[in-house]
């Protein structure tokens, strides 16, 4: 009996602990706006809408959540909107790499420090793809061929001075090869340009190119992650995501992962941040979310709090140095 | 409509032509100015960011000049009226309230502003009885509120009224 | 005929009571979305996407989900024409070209005929496109792969040349407005270098000038201001209000069979490439004006001028689903959202979709037939209702239209600045129309400007500045050649006439 009551007491204290830490718990009192600093149909858009759908399906929030696309000026529209909503706890934003690249490349005045980091949801992978008709079997062979072509190889990518072009620039810096970078509007277009042989390679996200890989039109050469992807289920007859070598293994020492994370406006209270941290934890625990992660072969690293802020700061510094070297910074 | 002052021109077509051509000229100059900043050249790998805007600006300026000369050359006497005084009054009687309406959207939200705007129109220009004015203007805003906020979840600007009603 | 058999299976899947109910729901929602400029098709579909998420997880549910969403899309395609014809306000971008003859028709009191013609030709266009998808998809699907940047540029050039060329307005005024359109299109982020152009540090201008705001202002507000000069009334209030008008219009329509075929071909081509429904409607209108024997009268209220853009827009909108399904490239913003939906539901658009998800694909194709039939029935029965809107007194309907326009402008970027821009465009539209500055080239330039520029510059990057890339293979060469031929056709015709006259 005694032991039981002590256990009970302990359990009660432990259950009470979170509410002691966040003495003033908070909940949204009106509709929450979920901003996407990118167009409809892209990777960030899909992830945000999936999250919204999961929230609605499992009733994770009492208030409703609306998704708003603010893609103007390479996402600057969305970031400026959130920056301007200082102290508004009913606004969250999902980011992609344009959190760093847009202010650097365009000089539009905002920085991630204007926002409050909430939670990293996942990291998006980049894979080096070529047309399957091409003879190169590995990243090494491909780079050698690009070198031999004397800077005539075309790399198709999404947007200008954003992640795809930064990776291209990093490959150039690493290997001394030159590429012609051709910017397109969306990842789907980029993949089709490669299938149609209008480009020599791309660094598409897995989800953008997987259909053509399975259709036998494209082949992956390497993934820009220090570790191989963990997904072992066969995607094609012979290969799984885990079978794709890392670029480092292939002698191309470049790694790049794109942040899919949640931010809030500046000046919000810890209780408000905590609410969204909890909300996204619940979202991540659903089978639907796990499904999405596997389909897009995401890197499921997920940080919160200080760890997350530190990660963002490191990543920002890396983008500054990468973009400086590539001369992508406005007014440089 | 009133024929007596409707026919009297507020200003002539010639004046309007000149003003419009000048407007184009200024726009063209602005475009050229920014294109030069961006770089308007043709590099090895194709045109720079300002290449197309520059020539667009140049063409705007050239055609504006042609239109300006044509307008200036047109005889002053023969020029017809661009808009009658009465017509202008009618146009402004809608344009100005609409401008006020847009200002109000920012202050009191789109629903309250729309209610006032529709009510004003119906009462002032349509001379409807008050009960109809109130029914239509409020009904209209309620329908839009249901469509946008409730069904399609598109947030439109809201103001103190919605906050008071707890709809915010 | 494997296709027929698969299609029949598709009908079996699509023709459940639940799915037909979903079709009606989708079409009605879509029509509302199409009518209100604030609710774009993309928006409407995106909003309902989360709803379909749980739907898609029941067996066969993905088919029901796509039926609901695609029917919203068809509904929006139908609905866009309604406000274009009645009030000169295009509810959707692809119905801009419908205003050119649709609105004059309504002013003449033939709103019912214009609506019936628009809806019927939309249906015909869609039907042709679905038939193409049903029987030719394996052949046609890979056609889009031939399109690199030079080919896309050639397509935009072709659209442009088909539409511009002969204009009744003074040439330098046409040139000025067209270039104004290009200038407005270049505001914002430069697609190739990512630098900001013509924004002068303003955060409002970051997003550029959206086509929809310009169109709502120039056409919608501008038209209300013009109408005001004539007194406080809309013309065309005497429009017929019974369903007989539909039958009468149907009697007239077979006369335009050639225009229908031409527009369907243009539409299917633009949808598959994918060039988009909006350029398709402009191109088709331009081509029809050029080759019709009544071409001179276009713009004054010709039924043929409604048939051409509507057929092409709907054909393109439908055909755009093919590259979406087989290649994963969306042909329109709405298709982009549908594509996102497929991915969220766990389907993988791509070459294998037709093999692995046979039921889904054929269910969808069958629903394209059924959805468009349902759509046609819904909108045609509503023709008298729509035409009756014109009878609502001006002082009631005018402010409501202004409110709809304001909401439409606001929702593009959620900014009141855009509502101001809409008013400015309204005044500009009013002045331009009175001074014979044509608005259509301006609008077309805003639509095509940045796309044409980016594909041109992509081509130049690919070819390293070599202009001959636009004649480098048979496809791009013939597209460019055709464009130039259409551009210089008036000149050639003149020369030929002179030569003969001698």
Q: B163 to chain A: which residues are within 8 Å by CB?
A: none
Q: Domain A28-124+258-325 falls in which CATH fold?
A: D-Maltodextrin-Binding Protein; domain 2 (3.40.190)
**How far, in Å, CA of B77 to CA of A35, rounded?**
59
Q: Are the C-beta atoms of A106 and A331 separated by less than 8 Å?
A: no
Interface test with B, best of C46, C396, C434 (most B CBs within 10 A): C396
Q: What is the ipTM of this complex?
A: 0.91
- Name the residue among A40, A41, A57 with its Cβ closest to that of C54: A57
Q: What letter would DSSP give residue B147?
A: I
Q: C44 to chain B: which residues are within 8 Å by CB?
A: 152
- Flag if B155 and C414 touch (Cβ within 8 Å): yes
- Flag if A212 and C328 touch (Cβ within 8 Å): yes
Interface test with C, best of A34, A192, A236, A294 (most C CBs within 10 A): A192
3-state secondary structure of C198: coil
Q: Which of A21, A14, A57, A322 is nearest to A174 (CA)?
A: A322
> From the CA of A91, how many Å to the nearest CA of chain B?
12
Last residue of a domain, one of B31, B56, B83: B83
Six-digit token string for A73: 């000026």
In angstroms, the first-to-last Cα distance of chain C is 58
B75 & B89 share domain: no
The verdict on residue B28 lying in a domain is: yes
User: Chains touching chain A at 3 or more Cβ pairs under 8 angstroms?
Assistant: B, C
- Flag if A31 and B45 touch (Cβ within 8 Å): no
**How far, in Å, CA of C202 to CA of C84, rounded?**
32
The whole model's pTM is what?
0.89
Q: Report the pLDDT value the prediction gives residue A197, as an integer from 0 to 100.
A: 93
Chain B residue with the nearest C-alpha to that of A64: B153
Six-digit token string for A211: 């259909």
**How far, in Å, CA of C54 to CA of A113, rounded?**
37
> From the CA of B98, how many Å to the nearest CA of chain A?
26
Which CA distances in Å does C492 have to C158, C159, C208, C290, C291?
17, 19, 38, 14, 15
Instruction: Return the number of CB contacts < 8 Å for A and B.
Output: 10
C318-366 pLDDT, tens digit each: 999 888 888 888 777 788 888 888 877 878 888 888 888 888 899 899 9
- Name the residue among A30, A64, A180 with its Cβ closest to that of B153: A64
Six-digit token string for A63: 């208030």
State the CB neighbour count (10 A cutoff) for residue A248: 17
B15 & B54 share domain: yes
Q: Are the C-beta atoms of A65 and A99 separated by less than 8 Å?
A: no
B18 & B75 share domain: yes
B96 & B65 share domain: no
Q: Are the C-beta atoms of A215 and C328 separated by less than 8 Å?
A: no
Containing domain of residue B92, as a range?
A: 85-165
Which CA distances in Å does C338 have to A126, A186, C47?
24, 15, 11
Which residue intervals of chain A bear CATH 3.40.190.150?
Answer: 28-124+258-325
Q: Report the pLDDT value the prediction gives residue C238, as an integer from 0 to 100.
A: 65
Distance of CA C376 to the CA centre of its chain: 17
Whether omega before C274 lies within 30 degrees of 0, making that bond cis, reads yes
The residue length of chain B stands at 168
> From the CA of B100, how many Å to the nearest CA of chain A?
25
**How far, in Å, CA of C198 to CA of C51, rounded?**
40
**How far, in Å, CA of A205 to CA of A187, rounded?**
8
- The structural domain count of chain B equals 2
B93 & B75 share domain: no
B30 & B100 share domain: no
> From the CA of B147, how many Å to the nearest CA of chain A?
14
The verdict on residue B119 lying in a domain is: yes
Question: How would CATH label the architecture of A127-243?
Answer: 3-Layer(aba) Sandwich (3.40)
Q: B154 to chain A: which residues are within 8 Å by CB?
A: 66
Containing domain of residue C329, as a range?
A: 2-501
CB-based burial label for A321 (10 Å; 0-12, 13-18, 19+): exposed
B136 & B91 share domain: yes
The verdict on residue B98 lying in a domain is: yes
- Flag if B155 and A64 touch (Cβ within 8 Å): no
Strands, DSSP E only, in A71-146? 91-95, 115-124, 127-131
Helix (H) or strand (E) holding A319: helix A305-325
B15 & B78 share domain: yes
B positions 75-104 inside 8 Å of C (CB): 82-84, 87, 90-91, 93-95, 98-99, 101-102
Which CA distances in Å does A314 have to A54, A100, A319, A320?
31, 11, 9, 10
Sign of CA pseudo-dihedral C73, C79, C83, C88: positive
Q: Which of C79, C102, C486, C76 is nearest to C309 (CA)?
A: C102
Six-digit token string for C65: 């989900």
> From the CA of A314, how many Å to the nearest CA of chain C?
24
The verdict on residue B124 lying in a domain is: yes
Which residue in this structure is represented by tokens 């931010």? A263
pLDDT by residue, tens only, chain A of 332 residues = 444 544 544 444 444 444 444 446 899 988 899 999 987 767 888 888 889 888 988 889 988 888 888 888 888 989 999 999 999 999 999 998 999 999 999 888 899 999 999 999 999 999 999 999 999 999 999 999 999 998 899 999 998 889 999 999 999 999 999 999 999 988 888 999 999 999 999 999 998 899 899 989 999 999 999 999 999 999 999 999 999 999 999 889 999 999 999 999 999 999 999 999 999 999 999 998 998 899 889 999 999 989 999 999 999 999 999 999 988 988 76
**How far, in Å, CA of C375 to CA of C111, rounded?**
19
Instruction: Return the number of CB contacts < 8 Å for B and C.
Output: 182
The verdict on residue B26 lying in a domain is: yes
- The structural domain count of chain C equals 1
Six-digit token string for C162: 């088909």
B13 & B54 share domain: yes
- Name the residue among A74, A80, A214 with its Cβ closest to that of C350: A214
B125 & B154 share domain: yes
Which residue in this structure is represented by tokens 């090494």? A140
């Amino acid at each position: 009996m005694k032991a039981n009551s002590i256990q009970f007491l302990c359990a009660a204290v432990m259950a009470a602990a979170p509410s002691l830490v966040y003495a003033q718990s908070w909940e949204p009192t009106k509709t929450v706006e979920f901003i996407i600093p990118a167009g409809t149909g892209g990777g960030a858009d899909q992830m945000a809408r999936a999250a919204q759908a999961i929230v609605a399906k499992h009733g994770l929030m009492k208030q409703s959540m609306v998704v708003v696309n603010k893609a103007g000026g390479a996402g600057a529209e969305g970031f400026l909107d959130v920056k301007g909503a200082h102290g508004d706890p009913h606004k969250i934003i999902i980011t992609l790499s344009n959190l760093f690249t847009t202010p650097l490349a365009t000089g539009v005045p905002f920085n991630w420090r204007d926002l409050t980091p909430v939670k990293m949801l996942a990291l998006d992978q980049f894979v080096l793809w070529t047309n399957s008709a091409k003879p190169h079997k590995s990243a090494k062979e491909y780079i050698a061929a690009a070198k031999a072509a004397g800077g005539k190889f075309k790399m198709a990518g999404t947007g200008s001075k954003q992640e795809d072009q930064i990776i291209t620039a990093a490959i150039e810096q690493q290997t001394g090869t030159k590429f012609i970078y051709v910017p397109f509007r969306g990842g789907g277009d980029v993949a089709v340009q490669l299938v149609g042989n209008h480009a020599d390679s791309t660094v598409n996200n897995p989800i953008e190119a997987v259909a053509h890989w399975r259709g036998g039109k494209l082949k992956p050469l390497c993934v820009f992650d220090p570790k191989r992807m963990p997904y072992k289920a066969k995607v094609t007859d012979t290969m799984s995501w885990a079978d794709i070598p890392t670029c480092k293994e292939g002698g191309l020492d470049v790694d790049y992962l794109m942040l899919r994370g949640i931010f809030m406006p500046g000046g919000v209270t810890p209780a408000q941040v905590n609410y969204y941290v909890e909300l996204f934890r619940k979202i991540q625990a659903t089978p639907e979310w796990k499904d999405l992660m596997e389909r897009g072969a995401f890197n499921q690293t997920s940080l919160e709090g200080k760890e997350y802020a530190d990660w963002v700061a490191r990543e920002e510094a890396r983008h500054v140095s990468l973009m400086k070297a590539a001369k992508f910074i406005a007014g440089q | 409509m009133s024929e007596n002052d409707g026919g009297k021109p507020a200003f002539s077509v010639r004046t309007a032509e000149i003003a419009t051509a000048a407007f184009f000229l200024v726009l063209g100059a602005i475009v050229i100015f920014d294109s030069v900043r961006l770089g308007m050249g043709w590099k090895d790998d194709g045109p720079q960011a300002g290449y197309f805007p520059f020539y667009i600006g140049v063409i705007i300026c050239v055609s504006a000049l042609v239109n300006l000369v044509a307008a200036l050359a047109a005889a002053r006497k023969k020029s017809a009226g661009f808009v009658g005084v009465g017509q202008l009054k009618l146009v402004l009687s809608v344009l100005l309230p609409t401008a006020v309406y847009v200002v109000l959207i920012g202050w009191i939200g789109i629903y309250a502003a729309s209610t006032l705007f529709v009510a004003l129109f119906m009462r002032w220009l349509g001379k409807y009885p008050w009960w109809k004015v109130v029914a239509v203007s409020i009904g209209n805003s309620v329908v839009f509120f249901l469509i946008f906020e409730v069904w399609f979840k598109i947030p439109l600007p809201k103001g103190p009224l919605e906050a008071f009603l707890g709809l915010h | 005929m494997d296709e027929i058999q698969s299609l029949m299976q598709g009908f079996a899947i699509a023709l459940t009571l639940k799915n037909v109910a979903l079709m009606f729901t989708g079409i009605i929602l879509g029509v509302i979305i199409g009518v209100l400029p604030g609710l774009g098709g993309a928006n409407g579909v995106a909003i309902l996407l989360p709803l379909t998420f749980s739907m898609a997880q029941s067996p066969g549910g993905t088919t029901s989900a796509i039926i609901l969403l695609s029917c919203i899309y068809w509904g929006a395609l139908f609905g866009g024409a309604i406000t274009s014809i009645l009030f000169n306000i295009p509810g959707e971008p692809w119905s801009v070209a419908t205003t050119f003859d649709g609105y004059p028709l309504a002013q003449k009191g033939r709103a019912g005929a214009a609506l019936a013609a628009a809806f019927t030709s939309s249906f015909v266009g869609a039907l042709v496109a679905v038939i193409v998808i049903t029987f030719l998809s394996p052949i046609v699907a890979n056609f889009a792969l031939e399109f690199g940047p030079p080919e896309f540029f050639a397509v935009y050039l072709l659209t442009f040349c088909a539409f511009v060329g002969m204009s009744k307005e003074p040439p330098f005024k046409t040139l000025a407005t067209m270039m104004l359109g290009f200038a407005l299109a270049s505001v914002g982020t430069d697609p190739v270098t990512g630098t900001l152009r013509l924004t002068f540090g303003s955060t409002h201008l970051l997003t550029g000038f959206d086509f929809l705001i310009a169109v709502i202002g120039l056409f919608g507000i501008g038209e209300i201001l013009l109408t005001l000069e004539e007194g406080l009334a809309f013309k065309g209030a005497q429009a017929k209000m019974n369903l007989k008008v539909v039958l009468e219009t149907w009697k007239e329509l077979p006369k335009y069979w050639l225009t229908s075929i031409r527009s369907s071909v243009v539409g299917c081509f633009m949808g598959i490439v994918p060039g988009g429904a909006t350029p398709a409607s402009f191109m088709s209108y331009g081509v029809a004006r050029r080759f019709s024997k009544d071409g001179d009268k276009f713009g004054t209220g010709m039924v043929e001028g409604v048939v051409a853009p509507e057929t092409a827009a709907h054909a393109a909108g439908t055909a755009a689903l093919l590259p979406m399904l087989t290649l994963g490239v969306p042909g329109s913003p709405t298709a982009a959202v549908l594509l996102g939906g497929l991915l969220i539901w766990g389907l993988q658009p791509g070459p294998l979709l037709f093999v692995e998800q046979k039921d889904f694909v054929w269910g969808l194709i069958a629903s394209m037939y059924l959805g468009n039939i349902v759509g046609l029935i819904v909108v045609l029965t509503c023709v008298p209702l729509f035409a009756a809107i014109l009878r609502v007194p001006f002082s009631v309907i005018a402010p409501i239209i202004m409110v709809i326009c304001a909401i439409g402008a606001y929702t593009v970027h959620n900014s009141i600045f855009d509502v101001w821009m809409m008013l400015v465009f309204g005044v500009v539209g009013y002045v331009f129309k009175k001074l014979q500055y044509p608005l259509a080239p301006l609008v077309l330039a805003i639509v095509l400007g940045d796309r044409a520029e980016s594909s041109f510059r992509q081509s130049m990057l690919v070819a390293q500045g070599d202009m001959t890339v636009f004649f480098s293979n048979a496809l791009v060469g013939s597209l460019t050649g055709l464009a130039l031929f259409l551009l210089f056709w008036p000149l050639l015709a003149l020369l030929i006439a002179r030569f003969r006259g001698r």
